[in-house]
Every structure is written in structure tokens, then in C-alpha cells.
Amino acid sequence: MKISTHLMFEHSAEKAMNFYVALIPDSEVHESQCYQDGELKGRLQMGRFSLAGREFICIDSPVPQDFDFTPSVSIFVDCEFPSQIDDLFEGLSENGNILMPLDNYGFSSRFGWLTDRFGVSWQLNLPG
């Protein structure tokens, strides 16, 4: 059995996948399959990628959906050092929405929560 996180986008799966892989260390694209014909020809149909060793799958939905991402489910990242959390927060929050700015919230000395430009929710934590 294998479990992966699946992210569904409309028109931005490839951009999101490449953005995350470029921003997060030890990340890579493993597979990209594009639509072969029709109005979606050339657009990413399905991609497999890893972020710091965690596998993700993304697709561009061929039909519009009545739903989108919600902050109720987020990607939680434990960072290793202060500059790492600062860089990730800055990159991911650009053109996104900050839900909780980086700060000491008692349960963590450095924590931030945001939705990125693609609508995906991220919680960034610096343990310790």
C-alpha cells in the first residue's frame, strides 16, 4: 500500500508543481503526462513529484469544479532552521493569503499559516 497527497488544480497544476519543486530543497518532478488532444492538448494531465521526500500527485481537472482547496487540510512543514522557514514563508505567501503571520504562538516559537497563489494551504513550523 502506498499513500500520496493528491492536488487538483484548474489550469495551474504544472505551474504549481514546478513552483513547489523549485522552492523546497530536496524536491523533484518524477513524471509529467500531458493531454494529447482536444482543447487541453499540451496541458499537464497528471504529475508526480516529491517535496523533501514526500510524494504528491497533481492534475489539471478537465472540467470546472464547484469546489477548491480549503485551509482545513494543509501541508505541514517542520523546518530545520530559521532562514529556511523565513524563505519558505516569503516564497509561498507571495500573491497568496497569510492566515497567521510568522510568530510565537505558544505552541511553537516560530509558526506561520498561509494559502499560496494556487489556493493550497501550508503550515510552516520551526520546532524547538
- Predicted local confidence at residue 1, as pLDDT: 79
What is the span of the domain harbouring residue 25?
Answer: 5-60
Residues of the chain with pLDDT under 70: none
- Predicted local confidence at residue 36, as pLDDT: 94
- Predicted local confidence at residue 62, as pLDDT: 86
Is residue 67, in this structure, part of any structural domain at all? no
Residue 54 and residue 9 share a domain: yes
Total structural domains within the chain: 2
Looking at residue 27, which CATH number applies to its domain? Answer: 3.30.720.100
- Predicted local confidence at residue 3, as pLDDT: 87
- Predicted local confidence at residue 2, as pLDDT: 86
Give CA separation, 127 vs 67, 71, 100, 104, 119, in Å. Answer: 33, 21, 17, 11, 25
Tell me the percentage of the chain whose pLDDT exceeds 70: 100
**56: Cβ contacts below 8 Å, ≥ 6 apart:** 4, 5, 6, 7, 17, 20, 48, 49, 50
- Predicted local confidence at residue 64, as pLDDT: 87
Is residue 69, in this structure, part of any structural domain at all? no
Is residue 66, in this structure, part of any structural domain at all? no
Looking at residue 89, which CATH number applies to its domain? Answer: 3.30.720.110
* Three cell numbers, residue 53: 521526500
